[in-house]
Amino acid sequence: MKMKSLAIGAAVLATLGLAACQSPTPPTSAGPAGACRPDAAQALVGKAAVSDAEARRLTGATLVRQIQPGQAVTMDYRQERVTIETDTKTGKIVRAACG
């Protein structure tokens, strides 16, 4: 009986020891502060041109890049940036994307 109690005690200690080694799960978040929301950016397509301030408010982005169709831009990805392509003839947004 003493041997059985010793074995159970060892198993409990081993389990507790392994549990102590486990790293905590990091808290989940909606994304980094200032990150552009792709769904909100896409919702701008077809609408009239917006100001930089309005684009930031609507998409959550902290950087706004306003371009015209065919304009050359850098291809670096910035999660906090929204790029808005506006047709100069119609004044409508033809493309909006995060990055």
Residue 29 binned pLDDT confidence (cut-offs 50, 70, 90): very low
Between CA 60 and CA 37 the distance in angstroms is 6
Q: Which residue intervals of the chain are DSSP H helices?
A: 2-21, 38-42, 52-59
Residue-range domains of the chain with CATH: 38-98 (3.30.10.10)
pLDDT at res. 34: 77
Neighbours of 83 (CB within 10 A): 20
List the end-to-end C-alpha distance of the chain, in Å, as a whole number.
67
Residues 57-99 have pLDDT tens digits of 999 999 999 999 999 999 999 999 999 999 999 999 999 999 9
Residues 40-50 have pLDDT tens digits of 999 999 999 99
pLDDT at res. 52: 97
Does residue 12 come out as left (phi exceeding 0), alpha (psi in the -120 to 50 range) or beta? alpha
Whether the predicted pLDDT of 36 surpasses 90: yes
pLDDT at res. 27: 47
